[in-house]
Chains A and B, each alone.
Chain A
Amino acid sequence: MFPWVHEFRWELGHLIFTGGFAMVLVVVLTGITVAFRKVYEVYKKNTVDKILWEATFEDLPTISRSCRHAISGVFKERTCNNLFDCRECAVHAQLVRNKIPEKVFQKAGHDGDAEIFGLAIPLDRMYHRGHTWVKQDEDGNYLVGIDDFAKRLVGKPEEIVFPQIGNRLYANGRGWIMKRGKTDVRILSPVDGEVIETGDSEKGWYLKIKPAENNQNTNHLMKNGVEIKAWFMKELERLQFALATDQVGASLADGGVLTDDLPKSNPDADWDGVYGEIFLEP
């Protein structure tokens, strides 16, 4: 059925048959080639972290992808479709322009609390959905740490794997890894920039980052106490779901507080699954 096979004849039937087969084959091969080509471009342009986050974000359950404005009460319900990157979100920009979040926060009647269910929430810093915070140091660089919620979840990590000094990090890209038990907990970087120093839990921060010159926008981070408090409440709810077993369901006692080292207090829980859920790495 190919022109070089002696039975082949230049007739309509033979041409349709060969052409159809060739067309389908070309389409399938082109699809695969395009995929390879795109992968090559990703590595060439060094946008691996961006793609990894996109791939990860797609797999997040709906409950983990709630829009921050749905959590704070601006919307009744809304799922983020913008990779948690409010810097490039048209809806976020419009809300801020119209000062709608501000009105909602004022309506709450308080500035937010510095503590919620025993969790410290210092309001002198900005919070990222991956449970990191960012604080501008006196020298203009960013200090990056994990919030109290994450601290209690990871407890005392056996090892921390930092990126090398000089490495470029991207917001929502891979930040550093904390090893607890048999699990590697991947912490997302909250900002774009270059790693200039690494810290530890004693210092209270883990990375010092020199902000990227071309992208110092922090619109994707939460700054208002009311919003941060609402988000922490939502995260406690997510934790309950993540800790729930098939038989019992979500059952964290009302009014309880998280212990300093949750894996130690509850060693039988599926911590690997919980870390995946809370640190946005399904």
Chain B
Amino acid sequence: MDKKLIVRGVTRMEFKKFITYLIPWFILLGIGLYAMYLVFRYGLNHTNMDNRFAFGLWIYFDLAIIALGAGAFFTGLLLYVFKRHEFKSVINSAVVIGFICYSGAIAALVVDVGQPLRAWFTLYRPNAHSMLAEVTFCLSLYLTVLAVEYVPIVMKNRKLKQLPSFLVFEFKLHKVMPLLAGVGALLSFFHQGSLGGMFGVLNGQPFAFRETVLVFPSTFFLFVLSAIAAGPSFILLTTWLVSKISGKRLVTKDVLMSLGKISGILLIIYVFFKSIDSLVWLNKTSPAVGFSAADHYGFAPFGIWILSLEIILLGLVPGLILINKKLRARTSWLLTGAVLACAGVALNRFVTTIQTLSLPTLPFADFLTYTPTWEETAIFLMVIAYGVILYSFSFRYLPLFPQERELHTK
């Protein structure tokens, strides 16, 4: 039965091996579900967050995977709107990764809000002046769009497509994909931006507060730019990783190089604006409220090194690697660039979430520290396990890489 579900003309590991490989992930999923139960049953006191350190591991993780998941909407935009047909070979995988990232983020948020049964309040009675209201709306809608984009891929399963009506529906639904890709890009633009904007408007937190550009704080645009810069790198990395684990050639090298090039160009643009933003913030915005650079970077471990690391080693360096054709052509450099780019966006989200809350903002306040509880860590790992399991099943039974069949003989 298992073989009848696998894409025609490609081979996958034996079913027993596949299940054995998934067991550890299912165990992690189980532990996470138990932790989830504890948080739902006994409340957020099972976490180390409090009224002052209200954002912890989960929000950091949400911001990071939502940024990395931007590869889905951006690849869709490049393929369906800008007609970059080479990305057809990775779009299915990108959609699945996007769906995993966004659904995983929402799963973590459901636990984080503490009262998940009242989550619909944010849609029904939102605060129109809150950036989070926009985030809630856009995330919910974009997850819906991703689910609709996922449906045709599921319907391409070998067994399902034998039902003529399924294949016909898949075909017709695929025809409206450019529309959905456009809507997805719009939603992504706003929620990525609003996530950044949410920190940029915190005028009680000088580390995060930024100047306004066209109504929005500068972090609005920087979050969008960094997400679309790192997104293609994340698709590149996952494709390479899946290829290595499965031992199959999944796409041609030029597709990975194109993803790297786009990532590189956008990273350079991002680094340029991020540098200007940092200079304006350190020399104007922050001093205006009585905070110097030393106030932001004088508390270990958050020294000035972290800003240099983010902008230079994890921003400028991968950008230069990825825009260089000769370096990009070498797999080791291409991967190095992509890893650094993804690490850069992850560090940016970490700094934005954690450093902002750690730093004292009043003369009598202390530098705060926070260590996640085992429940928080377990739920974080549960989302990763969920992603691995869903992607593994999708890779096994769905045509995620249409070029694979053609490439296995070349």
Residues of chain A touching chain B, judged by Cβ–Cβ distance below 8 Å, are: 1-2, 5, 7, 13-14, 17, 20-21, 24-25, 27-28, 31-32, 34-36, 38-39, 42-43, 48, 51-52, 54-56, 58-59, 61-63, 182, 241-242, 244, 246, 249-250, 270, 272-274, 276-277, 281-282
- CB < 8 Å neighbour of B173 from A2, A35, A59, A62: A35
Are A25 and B141 in contact, with the CB atoms below 8 A? yes
Given contacts A38-B172, A52-B164, contact A2 B124 (CB under 8 A): yes
User: Which residues on A sit within 8 Å (CB–CB) of B165?
Assistant: 39, 43
Are B179 and A59 in contact, with the CB atoms below 8 A? no
A197 to B303, CA, bound (A): 85
Chosen A-B contacts, 7 in total, with CB atoms closer than 8 Å, are A28-B141, A43-B168, A48-B168, A55-B170, A59-B402, A241-B409, A246-B11
Are B9 and A32 in contact, with the CB atoms below 8 A? no
User: Which residues on A sit within 8 Å (CB–CB) of B186?
Assistant: 24
By beta carbon, the residue of chain B nearest A251 is B409
Given contacts A28-B148, A282-B8, contact A5 B124 (CB under 8 A): yes
Q: B242 at interface (Cβ–Cβ under 8 A)?
A: no
Given contacts A63-B406, A272-B8, A282-B9, contact A34 B176 (CB under 8 A): yes
Given contacts A17-B126, A272-B8, contact A42 B172 (CB under 8 A): yes
By beta carbon, the residue of chain A nearest B129 is A13
A62 to B170, CA, bound (A): 21
Are A39 and B180 in contact, with the CB atoms below 8 A? no
Are A24 and B409 in contact, with the CB atoms below 8 A? no
User: Which residues on A sit within 8 Å (CB–CB) of B168?
Assistant: 39, 42-43, 48, 51-52, 55
Q: B32 at interface (Cβ–Cβ under 8 A)?
A: no
User: Which residues on B sit within 8 Å (CB–CB) of A20?
Assistant: 137
How many interface residues does chain B have, given as a range? 35 or more
- CB < 8 Å neighbour of A52 from B9, B128, B148, B167: B167
A17 to B126, CA, bound (A): 10
Are A250 and B126 in contact, with the CB atoms below 8 A? no
Distance (whole angstroms) from the CB of B171 to the closest CB of chain A: 4
Are A17 and B406 in contact, with the CB atoms below 8 A? no
Residues of chain B touching chain A, judged by Cβ–Cβ distance below 8 Å, are: 3-4, 8-11, 123-126, 128-129, 133-134, 137, 141, 144-145, 148, 156, 161, 164-165, 167-173, 175-176, 179-180, 183, 186-187, 247-248, 399, 402-403, 405-406, 408-410
Are B128 and A250 in contact, with the CB atoms below 8 A? no
Distance (whole angstroms) from the CB of A181 to the closest CB of chain B: 12
User: Which residues on A sit within 8 Å (CB–CB) of B161?
Assistant: 55
User: Which residues on B sit within 8 Å (CB–CB) of A13?
Assistant: 128-129
Counting chain A CB atoms within 10 Å of each CB, the highest count among B126, B145, B403 belongs to B126
A31 to B164, CA, bound (A): 21
By beta carbon, the residue of chain A nearest B152 is A35
Distance (whole angstroms) from the CB of A40 to the closest CB of chain B: 10
By beta carbon, the residue of chain B nearest A51 is B168
Given contacts A1-B126, A13-B128, A31-B148, contact A270 B141 (CB under 8 A): no
Distance (whole angstroms) from the CB of A5 to the closest CB of chain B: 6
A14 to B125, CA, bound (A): 11
User: Which residues on B sit within 8 Å (CB–CB) of A31?
Assistant: 148, 176, 179-180
Are B169 and A39 in contact, with the CB atoms below 8 A? yes
User: Which residues on A sit within 8 Å (CB–CB) of B172?
Assistant: 34-35, 38-39, 42, 51
Given contacts A61-B405, A246-B11, A273-B10, contact A14 B171 (CB under 8 A): no
Are A7 and B171 in contact, with the CB atoms below 8 A? no
- CB < 8 Å neighbour of B183 from A28, A48, A246: A28
